[in-house]
A and B are shown apart, each in its own frame.
Chain A
Amino acid sequence: MIAKRKVVLRYKVLINTVSIIIIMLLQTTLVDYMEIKNVKPNILLVYTICTSILEGSVGGGVVGLFAGLVYDILSGKYLGFFALLGMYTGVVAGMANRRVQKESVIVAVFFNFLLTFFYEFGVYFFSRLGQQINDIFYIFRELLLVEALYNTVLSVIVHMLIVKIYKKFNLV
């Protein structure tokens, strides 16, 4: 039993590492062409949330942490910034794990919509600590709402893909 759990864990680490790197590569290159109203979706965030719902808070936190770290390295200004936010997003999304039916698409859709706001407001506030905040409603309407809706639509596809992969390798 313990041996089987170890194998499962190894598979999960491998699959998540490869997925995060592939998604990050797409996010920094081809996603640029997917802009709607000048806003692009955050597939890495969608992936973090969908995985966290399946994995629970501990796994979600770890996936969020590493996804954020890769994000920091390939893009961020300060190392650790997106890692911290990603970790908490993963932990919060993981809380859904025990309370609801985790393989349901509706759960993924709901949490993606809510947590996109949580995450992007986090980026917004922490990246301009000490600065004046006066354009929040405009930003909410023009940027956050569009991104949240876009992410929500993509979450359906990402969720189904992840569940499929997990079932294929008997990881659920």
Chain B
Amino acid sequence: MNGSRWTIGFALLWAAMGAAQPGIGREIISKITIEEVLSIGALDDEALFQWTGVAADPDGFIYVLDAMDYSLKKFDLRGALVKKTGGRGQGPGEFMIPRLLDASPNFIFATDQNVAGVYVFDRELNYRKKILCPSLIAHLKALGDDRVAVAAMSFQAPGKILVLNDDGKVLSEIAYLDGNPGILMDSISFIPDAAGSFYLAFLFQDRIEKWSSDGKRVWSRSLLGGKKSVTKKISSFSLPGETCFKDIALDRRGHVLVLGGHLSEAPSRTVFVLDLQGDLLTTFVLPDTSHCLYVDRRNYLYARANDGVTLKKYRILYE
């Protein structure tokens, strides 16, 4: 009797704590809407031309990679351009195909598509160093000032997330593939949480997964009813032609946000909202198509508009 009382009491306390604490995925929400708070880049200005990656620092400054003028740009909280660096080239801090971006408290991490490494800039956009990587990089997230996680792009050993220190030493890895499903089928976007777990969205498979820091799959979900990407024959290769998902992010209230790809109801606009256990809570639709979804430390959501000429910043409203 005493034992069951303790059990019930503990369960009630645990449930109450879970409901009250932000960030652990127990909040019940029925609807999410977004409200635009900032727009950077218009047709007649020189702010953005084709942005590819976005990140924000703890003070709210916004950093953007632009593939059309090969630059890394810094904007203030009102969207005014503060500084610009980069340029086309293969020298330190230059880009040929600028692609991925993330920020730690003090540094900005950027990739160039055909470079096996991560460029490190300080918050004033001074180039600091290059973190060498064993392979090209398909996705990048900063884990702190001195660590990054990258999805390695490798034909020999596909399907790995590597955690690197700032000298390029591999500290740990997660092998997330079962077998070899084919070219590009290992492509993912991922987001780490504070506990060291990783949430993965497969770009060409209807799979969203959570992996623990010790490399074990925690759960796996399908959100598109098992739809498959139609493959295209290019030369002698069969390549997936449609994306299932494009990006994944975590908000500050414990939800996983997954940007649907070509196969979602509103292609490249539908955002699936999951709790941390992988249960689908709701969806919402971005006003314009995006390739990217980013949530900053203040819980603002960033997405693309006007085919990369415009960056939109939204407040997330929960009901």
- Do chains A and B stick together as partners? no
Interface of A toward B, CB cutoff 8 Å:
none
